[in-house]
Amino acid sequence: MGIFDIFLLEAVINGLLLGGVLALLSLGLNLVFGVIDVVWICYAELIMLGMYGMYFLYTVYHAPIVVAGAVCIVCVGILGLALHALVIAPLLGAAPINQLLATGGVLFFLQSAATVLFGIEFKNLGLRLPVLKVAGMFVSYSRLLAFGAALIAMVLVYLLLTRTYTGAAIRAIAQDRQIMPLMGVDTRRIYLITSGLGGALAGLAACLLVLQYDVHPFVGLTFGPITFLICVLGSLGNFGGGFVAAFVFAEIISVGGLYLDLEWGYVFAFAFFIVMMFVRPEGLMARRS
Amino acid sequence: MFRNGPLRVACGLIALAVVLGLVLASDAPAQGKKLKIGVVYDYTGPLAGGGSELHALGAKIMIDYFIKKGGVEGYQIEAVYADAQSKPDVAINEAVRLIEQEKVDMLLGFYSSAQCVPAAARVEQLKKFMWITTCISSAVLENRHLKYVFRTQPSGKQFGLMSTDFLAQNAKSKLGREPKDLRVAIIHEDGAYGVDVSRGNEEGAKKAGFNIVLKEGYSATAPDLSALVTKLKRGRPDVIFHTGYNPDITLFLRQAREQGLRFSALIGHGAGYGVYDKLKESLGRDVNYFFNVDPISIWLANEKSLRPPLPAMIKMVGEEYEKARPGTQVRSAHVGMSASNTYVFMTEVLPRAIKKHGGVDAEALRKAALEVDLPEGGTMLGFGVKFEGESGAMAGQNDRAFPVILQYIDDKPYLVWPKSQQQREPVLPLPGTSPYAAQ
């Protein structure tokens, strides 16, 4: 058994696919932070609600999976809007710690509400996607979907930000929150659009994650911390940075876990994060001032 | 006599007061005699759906049964339920809160070994009696010489040894190979439970002469196990020994299928593997022919070999289970396990403590527990009960407990090991219809 064998290649591909999942997770969180400057600690819980939405629409109400996915994206987008209108907007002028605590409170509220409403049992779509075999290697179809969706979502968000008036306004606000109202931009509207978009991206992540994971009220704990780390590693608010960080993190986990104990993969990934916080505290892709 | 109206009224009131006084006086000791039990399981968090809530249900069915019966030996039963939230720190805090604030006489329950290990030490420190219905890690009791902690369940190491013994005995006849030619992998969640079972697996595998190609732990909350699957593919094990909770089991099996992992048999060890309905919901027919090591499901026990009152109790637990979870396809062994273990306490320990040792304090309960001597067939789980004394390395462990091996075949669990209790021959290796089949 050599060091470079087909299993290494498989681990690299698995890392890429895991990176796609993590990139998808970080996209919405980065967008919201980049524009509104508020970290949605409860972001993974929005995904959890989206996963439940998929479960009920597809399994209980037998909606076609594409329709269920579309409804889910719209609904979680509306949840994002509601989160901003009800929790974030009243605290926009407050100290960052208050905003953080408020979204942290929403996290516990959503976890508890899901426990009461949906129970503690694990639920899943019961959908087993086909297995792809390419050049003697097996590739996870659901992960390939997530990877593709992450790429497409990234491109669409990029096009939205660079090719539309609303996108230009979003970028302008991200650059200077104080001056834009003076230039006649309705910041309240832009914040709402951004929150809705952030929520919709959480909904998209939910649609794809529910193909791979069981849903339960605490599923957010599996993704929440790692998503936040990736956003910080890539430079909080920087989509490109988050995207790159997701793949770097995933490759360390996957390839590190192949040659050492699986847990060492995570140890290396977190050690890399800590080192980078010393070397580049502003994040991998931050522009140096 | 009593022509005078006011005098009649006064005499009537006096008589009433005397009667009431007598009634109250006779009731006073009964009201004062009460056993307050603190029940700790995970009702929320990932472990709840992973099996803890079913154990909680089993214990509650049995506690409610004795409450309805009016208590035990003149003592009323009161239960205070606490949620450990799938977190060890919360489990300890809740145990202490129940003891110090709720003033419970004893604690019962505990699903996760990661909670059991520290909680047992804390409860011992507080000199309270702890009756473990579920967690199996040897680390809870091994070399700790605890005085007040008792467990009727078999230990995790016994689980691990049972599965390797089963494989060693069937290697030649079913797989056509000598044990030394069998490649096995041991994978487990990295908590106290998984580590202990894997220790048993490793010891048994070495004893049998298996070739261990991989032994590895992972976090039960890991978002990805694909690297583990890739390593297993590289190691090409014939048989995988797996110990996990949920949802890590379903994540592993899903990724194993997607990545094309093949093997001849998979032997799970309790927890997530004990909740067949959930496995089936997640993985469909892919779980067909998987093995599970657990104490026997009380609904599979041979009723003829059990003590006379037990079959009726098993029936009662089953009916209450159906009421609480209508539509259950395969009754989970979890419910029966905690119900049986709670029943042993209520019928063997508690009456003895009250009658022979004068009450329900920790010392009386401890002495009573040490005197329990049930032969095989003495519990709904088929095994007997005799606790190791405090000088033993596994003080508080039921020496007569043993797990069995079940195989899920076409939505039914069959007891396939030990041979003496076998309901049918195990299907080994995995038939070609399984997506994991090595053939």
For residue A62, give the amino acid letter.
H
pLDDT at A150: 85
Cβ burial, residue A178 (10 Å; 0-12/13-18/19+): exposed
Closest CA to B231 of A147, A265, A140, A16: A265
CB contact under 8 A, B227 and A265: yes
CB contact under 8 A, A122 and B43: no
Task: Please report the sign of the dihedral spanned by the C-alpha atoms of residue B220, residue B221, residue B226, residue B230.
Answer: negative
- Please report, for residues B169, B174, B201, B322, the alpha-carbon distance to residue B165 in angstroms, rounded to integers and kept in the order given: 6, 14, 9, 35
Share the mean pLDDT of chain B.
Answer: 89
* pLDDT band, residue B12 (cuts 50/70/90): low
User: What's the full length of chain A, in residues?
Assistant: 289
- For A115, the closest chain B residue by CA position comes to B44
CA B167 remoteness from chain centre? 24
Cβ burial, residue B16 (10 Å; 0-12/13-18/19+): exposed
Residues from chain B that touch A258, judged by Cβ atoms under 8 A, are 227, 230-231
pLDDT in tens, B426-435: 999 999 999 9
Whether domain B32-154+303-371 has CATH 3.90.1280.20: no
pLDDT in tens, A195-230: 999 999 999 999 999 988 889 998 988 888 888 889
Residue range A6-279, CATH number: 1.10.3470
Distance CA A121, CA A235 (A): 36
CB contact under 8 A, A263 and B219: yes
Residues 258-287 of B with CB under 8 A from A: 258-260, 278, 281-284, 286
Q: What are phi and psi of B236, to 5 degrees?
A: 45, 60
pLDDT at B16: 54
Strand order in the sheet with B34-41: B76-83, B34-41, B106-109, B129-132, B149-151
- For B214, the closest chain A residue by CA position comes to A261
Residues from chain B that touch A5, judged by Cβ atoms under 8 A, are 234
Number of other residues whose CB lies within 10 A of the CB of residue B2: 10
Closest CA to B150 of B356, B341, B415, B377: B341
Distance CA B396, CA B157 (A): 15
Q: Is residue A236 a contact partner of residue A280, using CB atoms and an 8 Å limit?
A: no
Q: Is residue B215 a contact partner of residue B202, using CB atoms and an 8 Å limit?
A: yes
Per domain, the residue ranges of chain A are: 6-279
pLDDT at A62: 92
Closest CA to B357 of B341, B344, B369: B369
Residues from chain B that touch A226, judged by Cβ atoms under 8 A, are 223
pLDDT at B179: 93
Q: Which of B49, B257, B286 sits opposite A120 (nearest CB)?
A: B49
Q: Of the spans A162-176, B31-45, B76-90, which averages the highest pLDDT? A: B76-90
* pLDDT of B125 strictly over 70: yes
Relative to beta strand A137-140, strand A131-134 is: antiparallel
For testing the chain B interface, which of A58, A115, A121 should be mutated: the one with the most B CBs within 10 Å? A121
Distance CA B199, CA B23 (A): 60
pLDDT at B62: 97
pLDDT in tens, A114-147: 999 998 888 888 887 888 888 778 888 888 888 8
Note whether ipTM > 0.90 here. no
pLDDT in tens, B95-112: 999 999 999 999 999 999
For testing the chain B interface, which of A17, A18, A60, A122 should be mutated: the one with the most B CBs within 10 Å? A122
For residue B1, give the amino acid letter.
M
CB contact under 8 A, A223 and B223: yes
The gap between the terminal CA atoms of chain A, to the nearest Å, is 48
Residues 75-134 of B with CB under 8 A from A: 86
CA A252 remoteness from chain centre? 19
For testing the chain B interface, which of A3, A138, A252 should be mutated: the one with the most B CBs within 10 Å? A138
Tokens of B356: 């022979």
Buried b (16+ CB within 10 A) or exposed e, A125-137: beebbeeeeeeeb
Which residues have C-beta within 8 Å of that of residue B287, sequence separation ≥ 6?
B253, B276, B279, B280, B408
Mean pLDDT of B16-27: 46
B32-154+303-371 and B157-294+403-421 have identical folds: yes
Between B333-344 and B309-324, two packed helices, what is the crossing angle to 10 degrees?
Answer: 130
Q: Is residue B207 a contact partner of residue B236, using CB atoms and an 8 Å limit?
A: no
Q: Work out the percent of chain B whose per-residue pLDDT is above 70.
A: 93
Q: What radius of gyration do chain B's Cα atoms show?
A: 25
Task: Please report the sign of the dihedral spanned by the C-alpha atoms of residue B199, residue B204, residue B207, residue B212.
Answer: negative
CB contact under 8 A, B219 and A131: no
For residue A101, give the amino acid letter.
L
pLDDT in tens, A10-55: 889 889 988 988 888 888 888 888 888 888 889 999 999 999 999 9
Chain B nearest-CA distance from A158, in A, is 28
CB contact under 8 A, A254 and B227: yes
Distance CA A140, CA A137 (A): 10
Give yes or no for B235 touching A (CB within 8 A).
no
- For A129, the closest chain B residue by CA position comes to B258
CB contact under 8 A, A261 and B216: yes
Residue B219 vs residue B27, higher pLDDT? B219
Distance CA B205, CA A222 (A): 33
CB contact under 8 A, B247 and A7: no
For testing the chain A interface, which of B195, B224, B275 should be mutated: the one with the most A CBs within 10 Å? B224
DSSP for B218-278 reads E-TT-S--HHHHHHHHHH--SEEEEE--TTHHHHHHHHHHHTT--BSEEEEESGGGG-HHH
pLDDT at B146: 94
Distance CA A190, CA A114 (A): 30
**Domain B157-294+403-421 fold:** Rossmann fold (3.40.50)
Interface A-B: count of C-beta contacts within 8 A: 123
* Collapsed DSSP state (helix, strand, coil) of residue B129: strand
Which residues have C-beta within 8 Å of that of residue B284, sequence separation ≥ 6?
A126, A128
Distance CA A102, CA B23 (A): 57
Give yes or no for B224 touching A (CB within 8 A).
yes
Buried b (16+ CB within 10 A) or exposed e, B94-110: bbbebbeeeebbbbbbb
Residues from chain A that touch B259, judged by Cβ atoms under 8 A, are 10, 14, 138, 140
Per domain, the residue ranges of chain B are: 32-154+303-371, 157-294+403-421
